[in-house]
Amino acid sequence: MGRTAAGGPAGGVPAGAAAAGASDRRSSDGVVASRESAAPAREPATDTGALSVRPSDEDVARRAAVRDNAFSAKPAPARFLQVVVALFFPVIVVAAAVRAVATSSFLWFEYHRPGFPADQFGFSLDDRMTYGSYALDYVLNFAPPRYLGGLVTPEGEPLFLDSEVGHMADVKGVLGLSFFIALVLFVLAVLSCIYLARRYKGGIRRALFAGAVLTLVGMVALTVLAVIGWETFFTQVHALFFADGTWTFRVDDTLIRLFPEQFWTDSAITIAVLVLGATILTLIATWPTKARRERSMLAQEAAEVRYRRALEAS
């Protein structure tokens, strides 16, 4: 009876089961206690991380990769300005050569060189130098047409006809506009080179080399056209800039006597020689040798490092 009341099958719990249950509860309580005691140890790290502003390692690596790509990539403005300098180069060189020919020194050389045709209507060498200098000065200065129209011969007759003065006024306008455009392009090319020198090492050399090649190709094409048919070439050039009937004169008109066909042939040859000389010198100075490419690469890398350090320090 006492066994039944203490732990019999009717409602009692065996001692072993009770011990095991107590052990299980202790084990479970122990796990829970350990988890509860471990949780507060992690929360300070979590709270500290939430308050930190330091970016993750992935963000740091991504930003560094973007910055390095930006430094190593050829900037778009540099590409554009290289093309600008290359395209402007032929215009600037040709304008400079024309200006060098349009001088009293070249006029003197032409009149005094052996084989230059004499004036068959009576102009002496001094007459040619005097009258030719007036005509040359007029197309380069800002004087009105009367600068030529008011000149007279020793006999008191007008030196230039109205048609001649009108043509020289047209020449003055064409040359003035051409030189102005060339000057503007020269200034823009200089500004472009300043940017390239600061931002893209080797860009000036590449741009000038491309411009010299372009000039050489254009010269070859024009030379072939001039050699094949000089008369046609001369006529087409004048027709391009002047209206029909305004640039043809009689053989005894003053302009023809001062500037015969031989003068224009020699002028064209001289301009071509000057342009060719400038182009060859530019090609020699900018030829993309291995040593020049390596120097440009090292200079560009050094500039990028300096720029990166300055950017990171700011």
Q: Give me the phi and psi of 13, to 5 degrees please.
A: -110, 125
In sequence order, the 6+-apart residues with CB closer than 8 A to the CB of 9 are none
Q: What is the pLDDT of residue 109?
A: 96
Query: Which residues face 152 on adjacent strands?
Result: 158
Closest CA to 86 of 283, 222, 225, 237: 283
State which H helix or E strand residue 164 sits in. Answer: helix 162-199
- Burial class from Cβ neighbours inside 10 Å (0-12, 13-18, 19+) for residue 165 reads buried
Contact between 105 and 213 (Cβ < 8 Å): no
Phi first, then psi, for residue 258 (nearest 5°) are -80, -40
Residues 158, 254: Cα–Cα separation, whole Å: 10
With a CB cutoff of 8 Å and minimum separation 6, the contacts of 262 are 116, 117
Averaged confidence pLDDT in the chain: 81
- When pLDDT is averaged across residues 124-147 and rounded to a whole number, the result is 95
Q: Is 249 exposed, middle or buried (0-12, 13-18, 19+ CB in 10 A)?
A: middle
The pTM of the full predicted model, rounded to 2 decimals, is 0.71
Beta bridge partners of residue 158, listed in sequence order = 152
Question: pLDDT per residue over 9-43, tens digit each?
Answer: 444 444 444 444 444 444 444 444 444 444 444 44
**C-beta separation of 248 from 239 below 8 A:** no
* Distance from C-alpha of 136 to C-alpha of 274, rounded to nearest angstrom: 20
- Output the pLDDT for position 311: 64
Class of residue 53 by CB neighbours under 10 A (exposed 0-12, middle 13-18, buried 19+): exposed
Rounded to an integer, what distance in angstroms lies between the CA atom of residue 60 and that of residue 73? 20
Task: Report, in angstroms and rounded to the nearest whole number, the Rg of the chain calculated over CA atoms.
Answer: 44
Res 190 pLDDT > 50: yes
Residue 238, class by beta-carbon neighbours within 10 Å (0-12 exposed, 13-18 middle, 19+ buried)? middle
Which stretch, 53-57, 84-88, 198-202, 285-289, has highest mean pLDDT?
84-88
Distance of CA 144 to the CA centre of its chain: 38
Mean pLDDT across 69-80: 67
